[in-house]
């Protein structure tokens, strides 16, 4: 079984889609896919589908949704018979819940974690070229927001938030690696889009400030800081972090032709306090 959640939901058995089109059964499959090869308690599935006030028939209705998913699995298996695999052995009923068995298939978010981990290790070793390549490779697995076509309840919502945070962390570190490699001009267009999308993300704004300053655009770098400060104060009642303030002052005091803070090939980490 091959599972993709880093974009639209795709779950394939023997190359055939087993994703229902109806919203509720699709939610069930999505939550099982996010916990592939692990038990998902009935209570979590019920909460995902109906929140804190499920109907009396919730467990019976959930069983109906599970059967609908199993029917799709059965159709996929019938198209390519496998004596050791049945719909009930793929979507397994266990005491207290259900488990979706991948049988060694691919799961994109786990592959993302593996590739990103290799990038983080390269960063720790100060191998910035390898780090940038590994993290870029990890990010290439994303085709859009996680589970973009799934109606998300509380359980899936938490998982989506976790995945998006992991994506943003990998993106932040990949940009950091590129800055340390002196690719500041190449980053400008990307960072322009990112700071517009993540209007209170301090690390991305700090990276944009560095990239602009190193590209000889000191005034624009200072404007980025001021826009961020205005947004933080107006929307959250917060001042920028001390680290970002130090970066702003170092750019402010630099001569127009002076090298960027930290040297041409280094980036300054600014903590991402707020999303």
What pLDDT sits at residue 80?
76
Residue 256: pLDDT band with limits 50, 70, 90: low
Q: What 3-state class would DSSP assign to 4?
A: strand
Average pLDDT over residues 249-259: 71
pLDDT at residue 113, rounded to an integer: 98
Task: Output the pLDDT for position 83.
Answer: 67
229/266: higher pLDDT? 229
CA pair distance 138, 114, nearest whole angstrom: 8
What was the pLDDT predicted at 14? 87
What is the structure's pLDDT at 104? Answer: 86
Q: Percent of the chain, pLDDT > 90?
A: 87
pLDDT at 255: 59
Residue 263: predicted pLDDT: 37
- Report the pLDDT averaged over residues 238-266: 72
User: What domains sit in the chain, N to C, each tagged with a CATH number?
Assistant: 1-181 (1.10.10.10), 182-275 (1.25.40.10)
| CB-CB neighbours of 104 under 10 Å | 7
pLDDT 10s digits, 49-81: 999 999 999 999 999 999 999 999 999 998 877
Does the pLDDT at position 142 exceed 80? yes
Between 128 and 82, the higher pLDDT residue: 128
16 neighbors 75 (Cβ within 8 angstroms): yes
Average pLDDT over residues 82-108: 91
CB 2 within 8 A of CB 106: yes
75-78 long-range contacts (CB < 8 A, ≥24 apart) are 75/16, 75/18, 76/12, 76/13, 76/14, 76/15, 76/16, 76/17, 76/18, 77/13, 77/14
| Integer Cα distance of 40 and 28 in angstroms | 10
Lowest mean pLDDT among 105-114, 151-160, 250-259: 250-259
Q: Where are the alpha helices (DSSP H) in 140-217?
A: 154-180, 184-197, 202-214
pLDDT at residue 184 is higher than 90: yes
pLDDT tens digits for range 6-57: 999 999 998 899 999 999 999 999 999 999 999 999 999 999 999 999 999 9
pLDDT digits (tens, 9 = 90+) for 107-124: 999 999 999 999 999 999
Q: Is the pLDDT of residue 261 over 70?
A: no
Q: Which pLDDT value is given to residue 262? A: 41
Q: Give yes or no for residue 170 having a pLDDT over 70.
A: yes
- Mean pLDDT, the chain, rounded, equals 91
- Is 60 in contact with 120 (CB distance < 8 Å)? no
């Amino acid at each position: 079984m091959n599972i993709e959640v880093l974009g639209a939901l795709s779950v394939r058995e023997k190359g055939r889609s087993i994703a229902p089109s109806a919203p509720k059964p699709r939610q069930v499959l999505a939550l099982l896919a996010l916990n592939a090869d692990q038990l998902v308690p009935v209570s979590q599935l019920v909460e995902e589908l109906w929140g804190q006030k499920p109907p009396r028939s919730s467990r019976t209705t959930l069983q109906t949704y599970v059967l609908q998913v199993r029917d799709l699995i059965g159709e996929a298996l019938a198209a390519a018979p496998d004596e050791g695999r049945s719909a009930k052995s793929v979507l397994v009923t266990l005491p207290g819940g259900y488990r979706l068995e991948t049988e060694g298939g691919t799961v994109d978010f786990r592959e993302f974690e593996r590739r990103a981990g290799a990038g983080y290790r390269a960063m720790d070793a100060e191998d910035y070229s390898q780090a940038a390549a590994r993290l870029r490779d990890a990010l290439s697995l994303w085709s859009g927001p996680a589970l973009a076509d799934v109606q998300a309840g509380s359980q899936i919502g938490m998982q989506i938030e976790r995945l998006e945070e992991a994506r943003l962390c990998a993106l932040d570190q990949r940009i950091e690696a590129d800055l340390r490699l002196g690719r500041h001009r190449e980053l400008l267009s990307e960072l322009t889009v990112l700071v517009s999308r993540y209007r209170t993300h301090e690390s991305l704004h700090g990276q944009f400030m560095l990239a602009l300053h190193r590209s000889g655009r000191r005034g624009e770098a200072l404007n980025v800081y001021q826009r961020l400060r205005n947004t933080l104060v107006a929307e959250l009642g917060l001042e920028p972090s001390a680290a970002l303030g130090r970066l702003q002052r170092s750019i402010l005091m630099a001569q127009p032709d002076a090298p960027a803070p930290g040297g041409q090939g280094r980036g300054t980490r600014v903590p991402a306090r707020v999303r």
